[in-house]
């Protein structure tokens, strides 16, 4: 069963959100034990997963808080896969008077928030001799996005460089690092935004499960020869 996640412990950040909660459900369906984080505990999701027999732990903190992230990562024991999914996308204009402050927040969550997790995550997995890291980036980091503001584009494009940096350090030690680059996906993040269907070759937004399943695949033994890849799950908006 190369696609199974049975016996694996998977950390998912941003687990209360659209993609994060579907990733938790997909990984649980495939047999994983889950360690979830977000700003606020998603009670309904956790109850739902536990009722189905999945082992779930949860901790609430801000991904920008390096001390909290490091304490969390050192307390959770063995980790087979880390899904760095938490993200923030303000739909503002770079001429807005407070845009420079929003820039810092956006870089803080989308870039530093990922660094805070992968730094102890890579070290832990190298010690274990095995592990997977999946970073949730964005098609915006590939081609500038359909509507995203530059702070988000800069952060997500930076993650694509980081994936390769991490993958080169992890590969020979059994740690495989990859990213998934979603396009417009029906979650709270894009609520109120209108995307032209004509700009998406598949002609529609993704539903979050369509992002979650490729993430789960990258955590599985079936992805054992995928290293340093950015997997485009964006309906053909970016064709590699």
Ligand X SMILES: NC(=O)c1ccc[n+]([C@@H]2O[C@H](COP(=O)([O-])OP(=O)(O)OC[C@H]3O[C@@H](n4cnc5c(N)ncnc54)[C@H](O)[C@@H]3O)[C@@H](O)[C@H]2O)c1
d(CA 37, CA 12): 6
Stretch of residues binding ligand X (CB under 6 A), selected from 4-12, 66-74, 91-99, 179-187 = 179-187
Query: How many amino acids of this chain bind ligand X (CB under 6 A)?
Result: 27
Q: Does 162 bind ligand X (CB under 6 A)?
A: no
62 makes contact with ligand X (CB under 6 A): yes
Q: Which of 153, 2, 9 is nearest to 73 (CA)?
A: 9
Shortest distance in whole angstroms from residue 141 CB to ligand X: 9
46, two tokens: 């956790």
Distance of CA 59 to the CA centre of its chain: 17
Angle between helices 113-128 and 66-75 (to 10 degrees): 30
Positions annotated as catalytic residues are 152
Under the binding rule (CB under 6 A), the answer on residue 86 touching ligand X is: yes
Return the range that interacts with ligand X (CB under 6 A); candidates 16-24, 66-74, 95-103, 223-231: 16-24
> Residues of 28-52 as b/e, b for ≥16 C-beta within 10 angstroms?
bebbbbbbbbbeeebeebbebbeee
Instruction: Give the Cβ contact number of residue 7 at 10 Å.
Output: 9
Is residue 149 within the footprint of ligand X (CB under 6 A)?
no
Task: Kindly identify the residues of this chain, within the stretch 17-56, that bind ligand X according to CB under 6 A.
Answer: 17-20, 38-39
In the list 88, 103, 117, 217, the residue contacting ligand X (rule: CB under 6 A) is 88
Residue ranges that bind ligand X, judged by CB under 6 A: 14, 16-20, 38-39, 62-64, 85-89, 109, 113, 136, 138, 182, 184-185, 187-190
């Amino acid at each position: 069963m190369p696609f199974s996640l049975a016996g694996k412990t998977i950390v998912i950040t941003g687990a209360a959100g659209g993609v994060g909660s579907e990733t938790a459900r997909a990984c649980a369906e495939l047999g994983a034990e889950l360690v979830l984080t977000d700003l606020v505990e998603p009670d309904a999701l956790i109850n739902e997963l536990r009722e189905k027999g999945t082992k779930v732990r949860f901790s609430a903190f801000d991904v920008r808080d390096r001390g909290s992230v490091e304490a969390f990562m050192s307390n959770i024991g063995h980790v087979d896969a880390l899904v760095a999914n938490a993200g923030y996308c303000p739909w503002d204009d770079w001429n807005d008077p407070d845009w420079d402050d929003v820039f810092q927040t956006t870089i803080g969550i989308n870039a530093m928030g990922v660094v805070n997790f992968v730094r102890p995550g890579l070290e832990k997995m190298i010690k274990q001799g095995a592990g997977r890291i999946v970073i949730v980036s964005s098609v915006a980091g590939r081609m500038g996005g359909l509507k995203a503001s530059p702070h988000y584009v800069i952060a997500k494009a930076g993650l694509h460089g980081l994936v390769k940096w991490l993958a080169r350090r992890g590969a020979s030690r059994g740690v495989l690092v990859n990213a998934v680059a979603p396009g417009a996906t029906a979650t709270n993040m894009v609520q109120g935004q209108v995307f032209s269907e004509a700009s998406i070759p598949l002609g529609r937004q993704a539903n979050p499960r369509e992002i979650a399943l490729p993430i789960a695949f990258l955590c599985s033994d079936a992805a054992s020869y995928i290293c340093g890849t950015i997997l485009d799950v964006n309906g053909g908006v970016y064709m590699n």
